[in-house]
Amino acid sequence: MWSVVRILWFCLWWAAVPAWAQTPEPAQAESPARAVLTIDQRDVVTFRVPLLGYPPADRATIAAERIRDMLAAGVTRPVTMQRVGQNYYIEMGGRYLFTVQPGDANPLTAETQEQVAQHAVDTLNLIIRERNELAGPGQLALALLKAALIVLITALLINFGIRIRRWCVHWIDNHWPREVKWLAGPLWLRSAYRFTHLVHALWVLALLYTSLSLLLSVFPLTRAWGEALNQYLLDLLFRFGDALVEALPGLGVVIAILVLTRITVRMLGYVLSRVEKGELELPFFDQDTAGTTRKLLTVLLWLFALAMIYPYLPGSNTEAFKGLSVVLGLMVSLGASGVVSQFASGLILIYSRSLKVGEYVSVAGEEGTVQAIGLFATRIHTNMREEISIPNSVLVSQSVKNYSRLVAGGGVITSVQLTIGYSTPWRQVEAMLLEAARRTCGVRQDPAPFVFQTALSDFYVEYSLRVSLDEPAQRARILDELNSHILDIFNEYGVQITSPHYEGDPAELQVVPPSGWYAAPARPPQDRDA
Do both 121 and 148 map to the same domain?
A: no
Per-residue pLDDT tens over the stretch 118-153: 888 887 877 777 776 666 666 667 777 878 888 888
> Is residue 324's pLDDT more than 70?
yes
Whether 519 is covered by a domain: the verdict is: no
Count CA atoms closer than 13 A to 463's CA, side-chain side. 24
How many C-beta atoms surround the C-beta of residue 151 within 10 A? 13
For residues 211, 216, 218 and 222, what is the CA-based torsion angle, rounded to 10 degrees? 180
Do both 163 and 210 map to the same domain?
A: yes
Do both 152 and 124 map to the same domain?
A: no
Full DSSP string of 258-314: HHHHHHHHHHHHHHHHHHHHTS--BTTB-TTTHHHHHHHHHHHHHHHHHHHHGGGST
Whether 16 is covered by a domain: the verdict is: no
Do both 441 and 493 map to the same domain?
A: yes
Whether 197 is covered by a domain: the verdict is: yes
Whether 441 is covered by a domain: the verdict is: yes
Backbone angles phi, psi at 196, to 5 degrees: -60, -45
Domain count, the chain: 4
Do both 46 and 119 map to the same domain?
A: yes
> Which residues are registered as beta bridge partners of 488?
none
Do both 428 and 492 map to the same domain?
A: yes
Amino acid identity, position 517: W
Q: What is the mean pLDDT of residues 330-342?
A: 67
- 379 SS3 class: strand
Would you mind telling me the total number of residues written for the chain in this entry?
530
Q: What is the pLDDT of residue 510?
A: 59
Q: How far apart are CA 70 and CA 127, in angstroms?
A: 13
Q: Which are the contacts of 21, defined by CB distance < 8 A and separation ≥ 6?
A: none
Band the pLDDT of 220: cuts 50, 70, 90.
Answer: low
Q: What is the pLDDT of residue 453?
A: 92
Q: Which domain holds residue 361?
A: 352-402
Q: Which among 364, 381, 402 is the end of a domain?
A: 402
What is the CA 336 to chain-centroid distance, rounded? 14
Q: How far apart are CA 371 and CA 390, in angstroms?
A: 11
Q: Which among 340, 372, 402 is the end of a domain?
A: 402
Whether 99 is covered by a domain: the verdict is: yes
Q: What is the pLDDT of residue 454?
A: 92
Q: What is the pLDDT of residue 20?
A: 36
Q: How far apart are CA 314 and CA 247, in angstroms?
A: 6
Candidates 54, 46, 53; CA nearest to 104 is 46
367-386 as b/e: b if 16+ CB within 10 A: bbbbeebbbebbbbbeeeee
Do both 381 and 464 map to the same domain?
A: no
What is the CA 260 to chain-centroid distance, rounded? 23
Q: How far apart are the first and last CA of the chain?
A: 127
Per-residue pLDDT tens over the stretch 59-103: 888 888 887 777 766 666 777 788 878 888 888 777 788 888 888
Give CA separation, 38 vs 78, 98, 192, 228, in Å: 18, 13, 49, 14
Band the pLDDT of 169: cuts 50, 70, 90.
Answer: confident
Do both 119 and 48 map to the same domain?
A: yes
Whether 190 is covered by a domain: the verdict is: yes
Q: Which are the contacts of 81, defined by CB distance < 8 A and separation ≥ 6?
A: 88, 89, 90, 91, 100, 117, 118, 120, 121
Q: What is the pLDDT of residue 465?
A: 93
Do both 501 and 455 map to the same domain?
A: yes
Whether 424 is covered by a domain: the verdict is: yes
Amino acid identity, position 201: A
Do both 142 and 205 map to the same domain?
A: yes
For residues 454, 460, 466 and 471, what is the CA-based torsion angle, rounded to 10 degrees? -130
More confident residue, 335 or 425: 425
Backbone angles phi, psi at 369, to 5 degrees: -95, 135
Whether 374 is covered by a domain: the verdict is: yes
Q: What is the mean pLDDT of residues 492-502?
A: 76
Q: What is the domain-level CATH number for residue 502?
A: 3.30.70.100
Do both 422 and 502 map to the same domain?
A: yes
Q: 150: which DSSP letter?
A: H
> Which residues are registered as beta bridge partners of 95?
92
How many C-beta atoms surround the C-beta of residue 497 within 10 A? 19
Which H or E element spans position 387? strand 387-391
Mean pLDDT of the chain: 76
Least confident among 16-25, 31-40, 411-420: 16-25
Candidates 25, 24, 68; CA nearest to 44 is 68
Give CA separation, 335 vs 300, 331, 339, 377, 390, in Å: 20, 6, 7, 17, 20
Q: What is the domain-level CATH number for residue 364?
A: 2.30.30.60
Phi-psi region of 188 (alpha: psi -120 to 50; beta: other; left: phi over 0): alpha
Q: Which among 200, 218, 236 is the end of a domain?
A: 218
Q: What is the mean pLDDT of residues 467-475?
A: 80
Contact 485, 439 (CB under 8 A): yes
Per-residue pLDDT tens over the stretch 338-364: 666 767 777 777 777 777 787 888 887
Count CA atoms closer than 13 A to 493's CA, side-chain side. 18
Do both 416 and 504 map to the same domain?
A: yes
Q: How far apart are CA 11 and CA 497, in angstroms?
A: 104
Which H or E element spans position 231? helix 223-277
> Is residue 165's pLDDT more than 50?
yes
